[in-house]
Copies of this chain bind each other. A is one copy, B any other.
Amino acid sequence: MRILISNDDGITAKGIKVLSKALKEIGDVTVVAPLTEQSAVGHAITMKNPLRVTEHYNNGDLFGYAVDGTPADCVKMGVRNIMREPPDIVVSGINHGSNTAVNIIYSGTVSAAREAAIMGIPSIAISITSHNPDYFEFAGKVAAYLVQLVYKYGLNEGTCLNVNVPNVPEEEIKGIALTKQGKSTWDDIYEERIDPYGNKYYWLTGKLIELDDNIELDHFAVKNNYVAVTPIHFDLTDYSLFEKMKKWDINSFFVTRKAH
């Protein structure tokens, strides 16, 4: 099995090292990851600047390739230019910090997996619920297990799995929950400061409003010590509103304008 690994914390992050080690036990691993941290870049891709690729070594051995771009750039570059044959699966992570509920939208980790899905390659994004985790190794084992399940069952075309692992000892994990994207969202606050030259600047802060109340929602499941596995896709169409809008007099625009 050919496995392409990426992340958004950058090629030097601990999470990607643990993931690479865990997945080397089940397949041929190629690492292509951002040169610098790319958290919250969402699904950005680099078009107006060229990209450079550099080899990255770890204790004298080739660990992987660093791209001076975004997580989505890394997946494109890995599949199109670095790997000789396309990967069977792409795995992104292990992200330092959870990617549940609305955070999926902002996440570079999830976007790397989604870019693979767009390219028709099954993929998994995996995160652990701490920015300074104690239980990375367990998350690596979960990743290896899920890679094998995806290889066995396949995914829908254009789909990937978003996985969140609680940062607790393995014996406290209650199981793996099949989940949906939660509804928890941010109450944003811009904290205003004054620079030494008297000019205002603003830091984005805020607190998460917890709106998830059952084990079928990713954020709640993880909080209750389940590994949360959410199948996601990139068709953003709201089919329910599509049906409702059939009753709008949407073409009256032209009737009205022609009458003028």
Contacts and interface: CB of A to CB of B under 8 A. Distances in A.
Interface in A170-203: 173, 175-176, 178, 180-181, 185, 188-190, 192-193, 199-203
Number of this chain's copies in the assembly equals: 2
Given A104-B236, A155-B241, 17 more contacts: A40-B45, A40-B47, A41-B42, A42-B42, A42-B43, A44-B44, A50-B202, A51-B203, A51-B204, A52-B199, A53-B200, A53-B202, A81-B190, A162-B236, A175-B251, A180-B242, A232-B236
Interface residues on A, range: 35 or more
Contacts of A199: 52
Interface of A: 37, 39-48, 50-53, 72-73, 76-77, 80-81, 102, 104-106, 111, 114, 118, 141-142, 145, 149, 153, 155-156, 159, 162, 173, 175-176, 178, 180-181, 185, 188-190, 192-193, 199-204, 229-242, 244-246, 248, 250-251, 253-254, 257
A139 B156 CA distance: 37
A155 B25 CA distance: 49
Contacts of A114: 105
B202 A81 contact: yes
Contacts of A46: 40, 204
B142 A253 contact: yes
